[in-house]
Structure 1
Amino acid sequence: MVFIHDTKTALTAVTDLVNTLPGRDDPDTLTTLADFDAFLEANPYSGAVRRDESELEAVRRIRPRLRELWDVDRDGAVPLVNAMLRDGKALPQLVIHDGYDWHIHATSDDAPLATRILVEAAMAFVDVIRADEYDRVRVCSADDCDSVYIDYSRNGSKRYCDTGNCGNRMNVNAYRLRKARESA
């Protein structure tokens, strides 16, 4: 699955943001300004970024809304995406900056960061929906993990997230189970 640079960048950022939510045994990992700085370092946004408590809280509040995109199918995602675009007053415009070729921004650079994140995520999911690739929007298959990811593999066979060591851990568990059955 190949998406243009800004789509893949937005999908990576929204995945990283959703995965900061507390999970089964995992704590919330976006609670401090240092956490927020680390997120923004890994996922830079153009435009105004204040990096203060108020902005952090606004970004924290949008996470459950973004997480909903992993709980629905392609048709169920459409009203969620449309609501994000509508709420963000999205007005797509072609822009070029910072060494990136022409791409779309759908909000102004001075819109609140949480709004820009929602709208950029929605625009990226528009591409996923239009490409009919929504089956690659997944939740980790490990029994003890609920992290989310987008499967970019060629054959669409990825089953585990990259946030923990889920794939390796589940393979070791399966191996140990097979060995236990063989010796029983």
Structure 2
Amino acid sequence: MAFGHDTEDSLLSAAALVNTLTPEDSLENVGDLDEFVRSWAYTGAHTHTRAELDEVRALRPRFLEAWSMSRDDLVTFVNDVLLQNEALPQLVRHDGWDYHLHATPSDAPLASRIAVESVMAFIDVIRADELERLKMCAGDCGGVLVDLSKNRSRRYCDRGCGNRANVAAYRARQAAAAETD
């Protein structure tokens, strides 16, 4: 199942936002938020204030829970977020992108835009019945990932957990081979 570019981007940015929470907080100050906004190319209003940072940080635990919700619970969560943020879907074209869906105006608070864009992507996941693509990292970081692979085999987040697991397995094999020699 291939999702549209905007859906994939929103899912990946939601996962990246959740992953700033664990294992240590990497969204501690306004500069961190500025970097997050820049790296995920969020457009529209951005006040660069502590209050805005706190609003965005408050999204993380709620979205972490979303990764392990049942389909029906995720539907309830999505509907609640859309209602709370007075989402009104509309087609827009900007910054070189062809028409795509936005559900908040560009001057809406950053946290609202992030929340709504994320749940709009969850809608596509729900409608395609692809919740198994939202996974917890198999490493010990407590992070999440979006498995966009064809065979749904991705197990680790983007923070090096897969590399650490591979190195640990290699060292264990080397140690076992040394013991048998």
- CA shift, 1:167, in A, is 1.0
CA contact (8 A) 1:59 1:114 kept: yes
Distance 1:69 1:5 in 2: 21
Q: Mind listing any 5+ residue stretches in structure 2 that lack a counterpart? A: none
Structure-2 residue corresponding to 1:88 = 85
Q: Which amino acid aligns with 2:172?
A: L
- CA shift, 1:140, in A, is 0.5
Q: 2:168 aligns with which of 164, 173, 182?
A: 173
Specify the SS of the correspondent of 1:170. helix
Specify the SS of the correspondent of 1:110. coil
CA contact (8 A) 1:73 1:135 kept: no
CA deviation map 1:9-48 (0-9, x unaligned): 2112111111111x3xx32111111111111110122221
Distance 2:95 2:87 in 1: 22
Q: Mind listing any 5+ residue stretches in structure 1 that lack a counterpart? A: none
CA contact (8 A) 1:8 1:124 kept: yes
Q: Which amino acid aligns with 2:111?
A: A
- CA shift, 1:130, in A, is 0.9
Q: 2:106 aligns with which of 100, 105, 109?
A: 109
- Structure 1 vs Structure 2 CA RMSD: 1.5
Distance 1:145 1:55 in 2: 26
Distance 1:97 1:35 in 2: 25
Corresponding pairs, count: 179
Residue 98 (1) aligns with residue 121 (2): no
Structure-2 residue corresponding to 1:48 = 45
- CA shift, 1:74, in A, is 2.5
TM-score when scaled to structure 1?
Answer: 0.91
- CA shift, 1:88, in A, is 1.0
- CA shift, 1:146, in A, is 0.9
Structure-1 residue corresponding to 2:61 = 64
Structure-1 residue corresponding to 2:157 = 161
TM-score when scaled to structure 2?
Answer: 0.92
Residue 15 (1) aligns with residue 12 (2): no
Structure-1 residue corresponding to 2:70 = 73
- CA shift, 1:109, in A, is 1.4
- CA shift, 1:87, in A, is 0.8
- CA shift, 1:179, in A, is 3.9
Distance 2:70 2:148 in 1: 17
- CA shift, 1:90, in A, is 1.0
Structure-1 residue corresponding to 2:118 = 121
Structure-2 residue corresponding to 1:31 = 28
- CA shift, 1:172, in A, is 2.2
Specify the SS of the correspondent of 1:102. strand
